[in-house]
């Protein structure tokens, strides 16, 4: 029974750690399906994490913090759209520039605003998202097997966790069951055909980039106001790049993206849970366990993805024929 409880706790951590990855992965899915590659997921998450924590700390309202995080991410998405759609610049360079901008600007503004070494004040009370407990979760917790699954694994997460996982079927439905989704996928494969049909390629791509900005904003806000209690320098810690890896691993499909993000979340949960492991007198250092998710990300991408074919028009600016 003790092993089962530990197993449930690891899965609980997996869900919490996979949430920002899943939101960022779905954000990249919308953008890249429309033909706009976005290396800047990391930067948008970082900017959203800072502004959500800063506004929540100043106002005491986590919802205002969430809106501020989404707004800041949308601004960066707008910059990326302007550079790569309107001015037809290199999408990869634009994304990298956004990452550098966010990494420097967040620390600079945080130091100027709060003077705490690039951090925000710790959040508490109304400045943080609180767990949502399902009905009868406490009373059922003692029931063998079903109790821990219901009270520990399913119940007790913040609202953004449930939003993230509900976005998976919603994304599937939008992409594969709506006219907007059909056009979005078409604009990533053959924008000239979409243009010929009288649909705005530029408008669709900006819509995809805007959706990407909203989801990255929620992911960043979750990091700073739910998973942790405030902003610290570079707190995204490569999650945006792991989300991109998960997107390639999932071959740009929403349900597979959820599975990939849960896998990477599980690796992070194991690394956090089992540190300084003793293997017959040889102690595996904590640094090795911390590096494990990133190492396995490379191994999985190198050896198990197979041929991942991105959208055919991805990364290519569309030039309307006269």
Tens-digit pLDDT profile for residues 192-232: 999 888 889 999 999 999 999 999 999 999 999 999 989 99
16, 157 contact by CB (below 8 A): yes
Q: What is the pLDDT of residues 283-308, one digit of tens each?
A: 777 777 778 777 877 787 776 666 77
What is the CB neighbour count within 10 angstroms for residue 40? Answer: 33
- Which pLDDT score is estimated for 78? 96
For all residues of the chain together, what is the average pLDDT?
Answer: 89
Q: What is the pLDDT of residues 235-261, one digit of tens each?
A: 998 899 999 988 988 889 999 999 989
Residue 170's Cβ-side half-sphere holds a number of Cα atoms within 13 Å equal to 12
- Which pLDDT score is estimated for 4? 80
Q: What is the pLDDT of residues 151-203, one digit of tens each?
A: 888 888 999 999 999 999 999 999 999 999 999 999 999 999 998 888 899 99
Of 184, 159, 160, nearest to 36 by C-alpha is 184
Residue 106 CA: distances (Å) to CA of 128, 235, 304 = 20, 11, 36
Confidence of residue 127 (pLDDT cuts 50, 70, 90): confident
Q: Which pTM was predicted?
A: 0.93
């Amino acid at each position: 029974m003790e092993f089962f409880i530990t197993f449930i706790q690891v899965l609980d951590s997996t869900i919490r750690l996979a949430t920002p990855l899943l939101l960022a992965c779905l954000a990249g899915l919308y953008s890249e399906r429309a033909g706009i590659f976005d290396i800047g997921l990391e930067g948008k998450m970082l900017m959203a994490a800072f502004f959500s924590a800063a506004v929540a700390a100043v106002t005491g309202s986590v919802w205002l913090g969430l809106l501020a995080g989404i707004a800041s991410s949308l601004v960066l998405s707008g910059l990326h759209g302007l550079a790569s759609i309107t001015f037809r610049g290199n999408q990869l360079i634009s994304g990298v520039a956004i990452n550098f901008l966010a990494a420097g600007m967040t620390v600079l503004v945080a130091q100027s605003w709060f003077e705490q070494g690039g951090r925000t004040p710790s959040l508490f009370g109304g400045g943080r998202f609180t767990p949502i407990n399902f009905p009868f979760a406490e009373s059922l917790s003692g029931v063998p097997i079903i109790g821990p699954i219901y009270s520990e694994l399913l119940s007790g997460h913040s609202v953004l966790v449930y939003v993230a996982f509900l976005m998976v079927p919603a994304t599937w439905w939008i992409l594969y069951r709506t006219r907007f989704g059909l056009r979005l996928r078409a604009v990533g494969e053959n924008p000239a055909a979409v243009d010929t049909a009288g649909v705005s390629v530029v408008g669709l791509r900006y819509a995809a980039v805007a959706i990407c900005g909203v989801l990255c904003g929620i992911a960043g806000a979750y990091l700073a106001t739910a998973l942790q209690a405030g902003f610290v320098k570079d707190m995204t810690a490569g999650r945006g790049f792991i989300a991109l890896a998960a997107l390639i691993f999932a071959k740009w499909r929403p349900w597979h993206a959820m599975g990939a993000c849960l896998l990477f979340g599980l690796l992070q949960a194991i690394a956090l849970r089992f540190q300084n492991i003793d293997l017959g007198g040889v102690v595996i250092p904590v640094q090795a366990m911390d590096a494990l998710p990133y190492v396995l990300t490379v191994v999985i991408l190198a050896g198990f993805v197979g041929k991942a074919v991105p959208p055919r028009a991805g990364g290519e600016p569309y030039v309307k024929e006269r």
